[in-house]
A and B are shown apart, each in its own frame.
Chain A
């Protein structure tokens, strides 16, 4: 089945630690996105990539980094510079402006 796989489902970060969220897709989509979802707020765009080896900052990129070395993979690193990382993170891809989402990763701070 084609789709987007995010892992892990739950992740805990210690203070000062970098953690990486995985996002893999087998839909052959060029465009991929990372969103952050906080209670009572709409999804906010962290980073996006329109093509392999290229990515752009979204609205809330500070404290995050990404890479796009392969078309299928778009991992997100939450760095120690992100002071409020607790949130639900969603990865998505798009084709013809239609969005396809993964099942999300809940990141919490220990």
Chain B
């Protein structure tokens, strides 16, 4: 069992739909990262959070430390949101454990 697990592995949505990607972890963490990887391979950091909720544009990330669970929500999804979304948790940055990613495809 991976220490950081994401669900679903694959997700197809229609443009405009509300999307949720989940991340559960079994290790103690001080921060949870959400990353976005586009088809070209480059990765962009979306959020780093250790408690509560953060919002940036149409993206919202939440974390429940007691339940060891985090979610990434995308409101009013758009085809340009199509990417792989990766969560990673751990202590210091050199101790991060990465999930295997959720492949999101948003169809027009």
- Is B48 a contact partner of A98 (Cβ separation < 8 A)? yes
Interface assignment of B27: CB less than 8 Å from any CB of chain A: no
Interface assignment of B4: CB less than 8 Å from any CB of chain A: yes
Q: How many residues of A contact B (CB 8 A)?
A: 25
**Interface band, chain B:** 20 to 34
Interface assignment of B42: CB less than 8 Å from any CB of chain A: yes
Q: Is the interface of A mostly helix, strand, loop or mixed?
A: strand
Q: Given B41, B93, B100, which contacts A97 in the complex, CB threshold below 8 Å?
A: B93
A45 CA to B99 CA, complexed, in Å: 13
Interface assignment of B19: CB less than 8 Å from any CB of chain A: no
Q: Using CB atoms, name the residue of chain B closest to A105.
A: B41
List residues of chain B with CB within 8 A of the CB of A92: 43
Interface assignment of B2: CB less than 8 Å from any CB of chain A: yes
- Is A104 a contact partner of B93 (Cβ separation < 8 A)? no
Residues of A within 8 A of B (CB): 31, 33, 40-45, 48, 50, 56, 58, 88, 90, 92, 94, 97-104, 106
A33-B93, A42-B4, A97-B93 are known contacts. Are A102 and B98 too (CB-CB below 8 A)?
Answer: no
- Is A101 a contact partner of B43 (Cβ separation < 8 A)? yes
- Is B40 a contact partner of A43 (Cβ separation < 8 A)? no
- Is B2 a contact partner of A42 (Cβ separation < 8 A)? yes
A52 to chain B, nearest CB (A): 16
Q: Using CB atoms, name the residue of chain A closest to B98.
A: A42
A40-B100, A42-B100, A43-B86 are known contacts. Are A101 and B42 too (CB-CB below 8 A)?
Answer: yes
List residues of chain B with CB within 8 A of the CB of A88: 41
A70 CA to B94 CA, complexed, in Å: 20
Chain A proximity mask over B81-105: 1 for CB below 8 Å, otherwise 0: 0000010100011101111110000
B39 to chain A, nearest CB (A): 11
Pairs across A and B, CB under 8 Å, 16 listed:
A31-B93, A31-B94, A33-B93, A40-B100, A41-B100, A42-B97, A42-B98, A42-B99, A42-B100, A88-B41, A90-B43, A94-B93, A98-B45, A100-B45, A101-B45, A103-B41
